[in-house]
Amino acid sequence: MLARRTRVLPGFGLSLGFTLAYLSLIVLIPLSAVFIKTAGMTFDEFWTAVASPRVVASYKLSFGTSLLAAAINAVFGLILAWGLVRYTFPGKKLVDALIDLPFALPTAVAGISLTALYAKNGWLGQFLEPLGIKIAFGPPGILVALIFIGLPFIVRTVQPILEDLDAEFEEAAASLGANRWQTFRRVVFPTLLPALMTGFALAFARAVGEYGSVIFIAGNIPMVSEITPLMIITKLEQYDYAGATAIASVMLIASFVLLLAINGLQAWTSKRQGRTS
């Protein structure tokens, strides 16, 4: 008679029930409250709240800068991860530790620090301002803040894949006559692409909802540098709870659609990579 297999974790039913209950309390119920509150509005009230020129401008700024910041981080985060994994240099452990600084640093502190750095009389701003480059108190400042808080997501998702990547594949490609660019493009990059897209999605999701580090450096000028989270806070301060939840629901749906598209593309890439390997 075969010995009964023992499992460390409880059975499927109990595990699934606990998972669904926990997910409902933490995620589903709070998110459903947003839609329930919004459902109490008429269509005209909803459209007025979510489609005013000031709110639409905040959508464009929030999503546009978030996508751009995630794309920039995807490029330079990959380069940084590559340098940390493939090379040894003085201060490497310090640089590796600094990557996680945006995770540990309070967002308000990050915003104040970036503002002090890029303001007109800041350490860097005093040299950029005479050149006509204004970072703080405008959209460029928002972009800098979103790059700062999103960089660790790219590095930390790509770094383990690079560490596990066997150098023999690159050596085999080189022995077959491939140059460095061809080896990277045909051998290394396809392996890194799923992790890179995961980091891109995480960095984008974090940037869309970021408030603390942006609010100080943005300038908060209506129609110019006003992000959507600030619009939600403004509605709440005016006791317009329905308007705040209406804007939040639009942000939630748009973010979900974009993340779903990114995850779908990632799954398609992984599937295609599996067929070709």
- Domain-located, residue 110: yes
CATH at 133 = 1.10.3720.10
**Mean pLDDT, range 47-60, rounded to an integer:** 93
Task: Tell me if 10 is assigned to some domain.
Answer: no
For the entire predicted model, the pTM comes to 0.85
| 218: containing domain | 40-276
Residue 217 lies in a domain: yes
Q: Is the pLDDT of residue 2 over 60?
A: no
Task: Measure the CA dihedral 89/76/170/198, to 10°.
Answer: 120
Instruction: Report yes or no: 232 and 244 within 8 Å, Cβ to Cβ.
Output: yes
Q: How far apart are CA 55 and CA 61, in angstroms?
A: 10
- Residue range 204-258, pLDDT digits in tens: 989 998 998 999 999 888 899 999 999 999 999 999 999 999 999 998 888 888 8
Q: How many C-beta atoms lie closer than 10 Å to residue 48's C-beta?
A: 14
Q: Is 271 domain-assigned?
A: yes
Q: Which of 116, 119, 272 is nearest to 194 (CA)?
A: 272
172-183 confidence digits (pLDDT tens): 777 777 777 888
Query: Quick one: pLDDT at residue 64?
Result: 94
User: Please, which residues have CB within 8 angstroms of residue 93's CB and are 6 or more apart in sequence?
Assistant: none
CB atoms inside a 10 Å sphere around CB 33: 11
Residue 25 lies in a domain: no
The one-letter code for the residue type at 126 is: Q
CB 110 within 8 A of CB 147: no
Q: How many separate domains does the chain show?
A: 1
Residues 6+ apart with CB under 8 A from 13: none
Mean predicted confidence (pLDDT) in 113-133: 89
Residue 27 lies in a domain: no
Dihedral sign of CA atoms 190, 195, 198, 199 in order? negative
Q: Using alpha carbons only, how large is the chain's radius of gyration in Å?
A: 23
Which structure tokens are listed for 263?
């995850």
Cβ contacts of residue 49 below 8 Å, gap of 6+?
A: 41, 55, 235, 240, 242, 243, 246, 247
Q: Exposure pattern of 89-111 as b/e (b: 16+ CB <10 Å)?
A: eeeeeeeeeebeebeeeebeebb
207 within a domain of the structure (yes/no) = yes
If you ran DSSP here, which 8-state letter would residue 41 be given?
A: S
User: Is residue 44 one of the residues assigned to a domain?
Assistant: yes
Q: How confident is the model at residue 15 (pLDDT cuts 50, 70, 90)?
A: confident
